[in-house]
Amino acid sequence: MPLQFYLLLAAALFCIGIYGLVMSRNAVRVLMSIELMLNAVNLNLIAFSNFLDRQDIHGQVFTIFVITVAAAEAAVGLAIILSIYRNRDTIDMEAFNLLKW
């Protein structure tokens, strides 16, 4: 299994995340898509760490940080969604277009 396969898988996951990020109408699914993208990044980091940096494994350290930050981000994100939901009674992304032209 060469490095490219991992990278391609990560890229595919990232693209699926983008698709979900842009297309989802549910705000929670948007957060989930972001999680997908972050996991794609983690896959990249682990793959690079395994294939190119076996000694110091910087990539794995980075991954730990990313997972940590992602957790925090998801918490804040969910909090934001919750507060929007309290005001507007919906988490439909199409309804959040008040700041237009």
Partner 1 sequence: MDQAIFQVSLHTVLWIPLYTLFGGIASVLWSPACFRRTGPRPAGYLNLLVASLGFTHSLLALGAIWGQPAQQVSFTWLQVADLQLLLPLEYSSQSIGAIAVITGLNILAQLYAVGYLETDWGWARFFASLSLFESGMCALALCNSLFFSYVILEILTLGTYLLIGIWFNQSLVVTGARDAFLTKRVGDLILLMAVVALWPLAGTWHYGELAEWAAQAEVAPHTLTLVGLALMAGPLGKCAQFPLHLWLDEAMEGPLPASILRNAVVVGTGAWVLIKVQPVIALSPIASAAVIGVGAITAIGATLIAIAQIDLKRTLSYSVSAYMGLVFIAIGSGNSQAALVLMLTYTLSMALLVMSTGTLIWSNITQDLTQMGGLWSRRPISGLCFLVGGAGLVGLPPLGGFWSLLTLMDSLWMRHPILVGVVLGVNSLTAFSLMRVFFRVFLGQPGPMTVRSPEVLWPMVLPMTVLGGVVLHLPFLLHRAAIVPALSVVTSPFALLLIWSCLMGGGLAGVIYGRHWAQQPVRLFWPALQDFFAQDLYTAQIYRGTIIWVVQQASRLIDWCDRYFVDGLVNGVGFTTLLSGQALRYNNTGFGQFYILTILIGLSLLMLLVTYPILS
Residues that bind partner 1 (CB under 8 A): 18, 21-24, 30, 93-94, 96-101
From the list 82, 77, 49, 80, the residue with the least C-alpha distance to 63 is 49
- Contact between 60 and 44 under an 8 Å Cβ cutoff? The reply is no
Q: How far is the CB of 31 from partner 1 (least distance, A)?
A: 12
From the list 12, 16, 2, the residue with the least C-alpha distance to 47 is 2
Q: How far is the CB of 1 from partner 1 (least distance, A)?
A: 25
Q: How far is the CB of 22 from partner 1 (least distance, A)?
A: 5
Report which residue type is found at 55: Q
From the list 8, 7, 10, 33, the residue with the least C-alpha distance to 20 is 33
Q: How far is the CB of 30 from partner 1 (least distance, A)?
A: 7
Nearer to partner 1, 86 or 100 (CB): 100
